[in-house]
Chains A and B, each alone.
Chain A
């Protein structure tokens, strides 16, 4: 519709006025959000970006041993490199000794080639006596220098930008020919752990759905007064410290714990056949189901509350029996709640650390525990970063799906 009343220049002026008013409103809204946005960016997004960088960028060796890194660059990766590399290495070691960096260097190399610490420390002790020709001198110091493994490790370390952490994190390796191949079955560590994390997460999610759905349904059809009362039973564990709940399960499930004692006392099992319910994957699954169950019940409940009861009545009046009405009419309407609850529980279970660490034993630990081990004990931060990045990508994909299914605006708690 054209408006003759509005002159052309009027029209343009008006447009700029409207858009500047809108800009002002946008700016004032954004200014309110800005402090938290800046805070989260600086203390959450930026560290994670740093972690992602760390998983592919590792300049430490190249900084400590510049000559060696440069000399190794043209190497083809097979057999043992030429004399110039030995010379560069020896000179770099002499420098690093004066900087007292040999220990750090030994740790770096040890991460890449387990057991290489001694090799490096030996050089550190003998570096002052090293005389050209360096190849012979180094081999005389330790015969390992004549083998390609250590050189391949150093070659890997010498590159600042590297895919070696991801190669390790995915249980791959670079063979003598410099090709990427899979680790032999018995040497795979991380992929089975990822698989176990997903598998236990899926099991926990399934258990939560099986337990949570009937409870949420029951609460949603109960009169408000009783529902609120019973809801407290759901919310109490939700508000109880994670460590308290984990402790409770240790107390209940351990060999001399409440459940085993009860079973022995009732005669269900004999004293010598106490069930091992904890420090294995069973313990992890039980404890995590207990901890995550409220995260399933709450979104399910809030969706079920909004399903009008009249639909079921309509279905019954149209001739469907209770069962058909439930399956064909009620269930489809709870789908968003089921999807949101399952995704939420699954996402949270993937990142669980405390509970598996305390009740999981050998067979119940998850990828998070491996990341913590790599950061704190093994000190292989690059590998930890690569494992974290892989976990993060998985979680973010699921989070994206969660956002599409259950609008984040409607993310409900308590």
Chain B
């Protein structure tokens, strides 16, 4: 983005020395954590915990996404950090200091709201100037910063418009610029792209990400859209039922889900159930399916003999007509439906005693090789199939 040097310079103070190193970071140690949640609990009615015993360190400069279905506690967590909801128990630290008793306006955290919350009675420029005015900045300085911010989000000509006169994407950019203009070290984003259409959403994802890379500000981002979480974040915290199910890099989230919930929530997933037959060695276990067949899978967490097991395989890792090798498990299945997706074809197959299995096959232009009603062999490598204890991690 051209012409944003000035603001970048202005924000240089918060930019870490080595950008690459920051991006590579996968966990925050106590020293470099900008935000720490220590055993935080939250309940609204003193009966049900919305957030259970949350402990989380957020590294300076990282892009952390809180991902989860609605009601999982991710928004409550963000609201506690912003200061709109008090933590019922535990402590939240910003730069090593407890902020439990600091009101929102004294926390100095930027925030982009779900509906942008742009002040409708002020122009774009007045909206941007607002946080600077309440900080009693000089008029000259305010004007300079507002212009720089408008330039940063490429809205130079729209400073005198009212928010209602802007498109959704433009409003979104103003909201981002307003959250950044007073140079907070930490910016919170509460599903900021939810109101945009798909194409615009993807563009804004890219813009926010590139702003983050250039400014080096810490971003805590809440979404229920997994693809948004995977493409933008340094780390993702998957929430369910008030707990973090897994906190890791996006790739690990997809490749190595820690619980059955994460496996099911992130990406597409085929689920099979069975009983643990043999714990095996090197983390590869054997599971007996209800039809008596035994398949191999990577063991996740502690499994006990006779435990009910949930097996999870990604559709793209299921192979049609597999070669019979030692670590390939195979099943017989009947083709139920073929769904054309352009670049690939999905084949839905029924397996006795299980939910249907979906196989993703690249569209090689041949087609017609599979017909409805065919009985096919499907299979997968043991490392592509993960075995979870049923019920663990909800």
Interchain CB contact under 8 A, B46 and A18: yes
A1, A5, A15: the one contacting B41 at CB < 8 Å is: A5
Interchain CB contact under 8 A, B43 and A5: no
Interface residues on B, range: 10 to 19
Interchain CB contact under 8 A, B46 and A15: yes
CB closest residue in chain B, given A21: B86
Chain B 34-52: CB-based contact to A (< 8 A → 1; otherwise 0): 0000000101011111001
The reply on B53 being an interface residue by CB < 8 A is yes
The reply on B89 being an interface residue by CB < 8 A is yes
Interchain CB contact under 8 A, A14 and B43: yes
CB closest residue in chain A, given B241: A1
Contacts of B46 in A (CB 8 A): 11, 14-15, 18
The reply on A6 being an interface residue by CB < 8 A is yes
CB closest residue in chain B, given A2: B47
A15 CA to B45 CA in the complex, in Å? Answer: 8
Chain B 67-106: CB-based contact to A (< 8 A → 1; otherwise 0): 0000000000000000000001100000000000000000
CB of A21, distance to nearest CB on chain B (Å)? 8
Interchain CB contact under 8 A, B49 and A3: yes
B52, B53, B88: the one contacting A14 at CB < 8 Å is: B88
Interchain CB contact under 8 A, B41 and A6: yes
The reply on A409 being an interface residue by CB < 8 A is no
The reply on A10 being an interface residue by CB < 8 A is yes
A1, A10, A14, A18: the one contacting B48 at CB < 8 Å is: A1
Interchain CB contact under 8 A, A5 and B49: yes
CB of A25, distance to nearest CB on chain B (Å)? 13
Interchain CB contact under 8 A, B88 and A3: no
Per DSSP, are chain A's interface residues mostly helix, strand or loop, or mixed? helix
CB closest residue in chain B, given A19: B46
Docked complex: B257-282 residues within 8 A CB-CB of A? none
* Count of interface residues, chain A, beta-carbon cutoff 8 Å: 9
Task: Tell me the total A-B contact number using a CB cutoff of 8 A.
Answer: 23
Contacts of A10 in B (CB 8 A): 89
Contacts of B48 in A (CB 8 A): 1, 3
A3 CA to B47 CA in the complex, in Å? Answer: 8
Given A14-B43, A15-B46, A5 and B88 touching (CB < 8 A)?
no
Contacts of A3 in B (CB 8 A): 43, 48-49, 52
Docked complex: B52-71 residues within 8 A CB-CB of A? 52-53
Contacts of B43 in A (CB 8 A): 3, 6, 14
Most chain B CB within a 10 A radius of its CB, from A1, A3, A11: A3
Contacts of B89 in A (CB 8 A): 6, 10, 14
Docked complex: A31-46 residues within 8 A CB-CB of B? none
CB closest residue in chain B, given A15: B46
A14 CA to B44 CA in the complex, in Å? Answer: 10
CB closest residue in chain A, given B86: A21
A5, A11, A15: the one contacting B53 at CB < 8 Å is: A5
Most chain A CB within a 10 A radius of its CB, from B41, B43, B46, B89: B46
A1 CA to B50 CA in the complex, in Å? Answer: 12
A11 CA to B88 CA in the complex, in Å? Answer: 10
Docked complex: B313-337 residues within 8 A CB-CB of A? none
CB of B391, distance to nearest CB on chain A (Å)? 15
B45, B47, B52: the one contacting A5 at CB < 8 Å is: B52
A6 CA to B52 CA in the complex, in Å? Answer: 10
CB closest residue in chain B, given A5: B53
CB closest residue in chain A, given B43: A14
A194 CA to B48 CA in the complex, in Å? Answer: 58
Contacts of B88 in A (CB 8 A): 14
Chain A 54-87: CB-based contact to B (< 8 A → 1; otherwise 0): 0000000000000000000000000000000000
Contacts of B41 in A (CB 8 A): 5-6
A5 CA to B50 CA in the complex, in Å? Answer: 12
CB of A253, distance to nearest CB on chain B (Å)? 49
Docked complex: B1-53 residues within 8 A CB-CB of A? 41, 43, 45-49, 52-53
CB closest residue in chain B, given A1: B48
Contacts of A15 in B (CB 8 A): 46
Most chain A CB within a 10 A radius of its CB, from B47, B48, B52, B89: B47
A1 CA to B47 CA in the complex, in Å? Answer: 8
Docked complex: A326-374 residues within 8 A CB-CB of B? none
CB closest residue in chain B, given A10: B89
A10 CA to B43 CA in the complex, in Å? Answer: 12
A6 CA to B50 CA in the complex, in Å? Answer: 13
CB of A13, distance to nearest CB on chain B (Å)? 9
CB closest residue in chain A, given B45: A18
A11 CA to B53 CA in the complex, in Å? Answer: 15
A340 CA to B22 CA in the complex, in Å? Answer: 64
CB closest residue in chain A, given B39: A5
A15 CA to B43 CA in the complex, in Å? Answer: 10
A374 CA to B48 CA in the complex, in Å? Answer: 64
Contacts of B52 in A (CB 8 A): 3, 5
Chain A 12-30: CB-based contact to B (< 8 A → 1; otherwise 0): 0011001000000000000
Contacts of B45 in A (CB 8 A): 18
Contacts of B47 in A (CB 8 A): 1
A362 CA to B243 CA in the complex, in Å? Answer: 79
A6 CA to B41 CA in the complex, in Å? Answer: 9
Chain A 298-323: CB-based contact to B (< 8 A → 1; otherwise 0): 00000000000000000000000000
CB of B281, distance to nearest CB on chain A (Å)? 36
Contacts of A6 in B (CB 8 A): 41, 43, 49, 89
A14 CA to B43 CA in the complex, in Å? Answer: 9
A116 CA to B52 CA in the complex, in Å? Answer: 85
A18 CA to B46 CA in the complex, in Å? Answer: 8
A18 CA to B86 CA in the complex, in Å? Answer: 11
CB closest residue in chain A, given B48: A1
CB of B75, distance to nearest CB on chain A (Å)? 20
A5 CA to B41 CA in the complex, in Å? Answer: 9
A-B contacts, 22 of them at CB < 8 A, read A1-B47, A1-B48, A3-B43, A3-B48, A3-B49, A3-B52, A5-B41, A5-B49, A5-B52, A5-B53, A6-B41, A6-B43, A6-B49, A6-B89, A10-B89, A11-B46, A14-B43, A14-B88, A14-B89, A15-B46, A18-B45, A18-B46
Closest 7 CB pairs of A and B: A14-B46, A15-B46, A3-B49, A18-B46, A5-B53, A1-B48, A14-B88
Inter-chain pairs besides A1-B47, A11-B46, A14-B89, 16 sampled, C-beta below 8 Å: A1-B48, A3-B43, A3-B49, A3-B52, A5-B41, A5-B49, A5-B52, A6-B41, A6-B43, A6-B49, A10-B89, A14-B43, A14-B46, A15-B46, A18-B45, A18-B46
